[in-house]
Amino acid sequence: MKTVSTSKAHSGVQGVYTHASDSCACDMTFAVFVPPQAADGPVPVLWYLSGLTCTHANVMDKGEYRRMAAELGLMIVCPDTSPRGEAVPDEKDNWQFGSGAGFYVDATEAPYAQNYRMYSYITGELPALVAARFPADMARQGIFGHSMGGHGALTIALKNPERFRSCTAFAPIAQPSTAGWSRPALGKYLGADESGWRAYDATLLIADGHRFPELLVDQGTADGFLDEGLRPWLLEEACREAGMALTLRMQERYDHSYNFISTFMDDHLKWHAKRLR
């Protein structure tokens, strides 16, 4: 692991780091905010997964999480959204696929299977690195994210309820297997057999018996992607049929931007902190 930068913030440290990833077969960059409470011992870890076109830097620069994370004693880990580099297959004119659009899956189709293994990276390789290099209490982990990252957070939590104590999302892609802006990517990463897509679709995971104690989702009513890509009512229906607790808050006149995310960031951090105590 190499340190790109560190900076003091709210008596904690915001750092950016790189390392050679075995899962993604390329160098990966991630950010970690270590709160001041870490001086006294390991602190809870909260994973933030970003959305399409983003890197680790979007939430770090615009998410406004450090003040509250420092107050609550939460470590915030912000991975990148996908593998990157000249040797990594990409579609540079397609913002919904390739670089910036890893969808937190483990690709099975050539030529993407070698690099696009974000599920394994987020659930295995990066947590091991964080546990080894940072004052992280890995027995107390939560996960949240935005849009594509909200989809990732939901699916990862549903498949790993023994690891995560809390899960929330901002405007997640609720059912990517049927959404117009995610179906093409899943087909390229996972192949034409849509039965293999179910492992990366929150609504279908719930239908297949996966459970998580409770979820919080915030969604803006003025989000331009609401009807085409996000469709939180599908997640609401799946949770209702499964008897699973979901708090879905439709926020009037908010859009898909980080203005929306930063407005409700404190609420999400407090939700996680309460469950990570």
Catalytic residue annotation: 147, 223, 256
Three-state SS for 256? coil
DSSP three-state, residue 249: strand
d(CA 114, CA 111): 7
At residue 168, the 3 state secondary structure works out as strand
Q: Which two tokens stand for residue 30?
A: 């991630």
Quote the CA–CA distance of 184 and 190 in Å, as a whole number.
10
CB 51 within 8 A of CB 149: yes
How many CB atoms sit inside 10 A of residue 110's CB? 8
Closest to 112 measured CA to CA, from 130, 98, 122: 98
Give the DSSP H/E element, type plus range, for residue 126.
helix 126-133
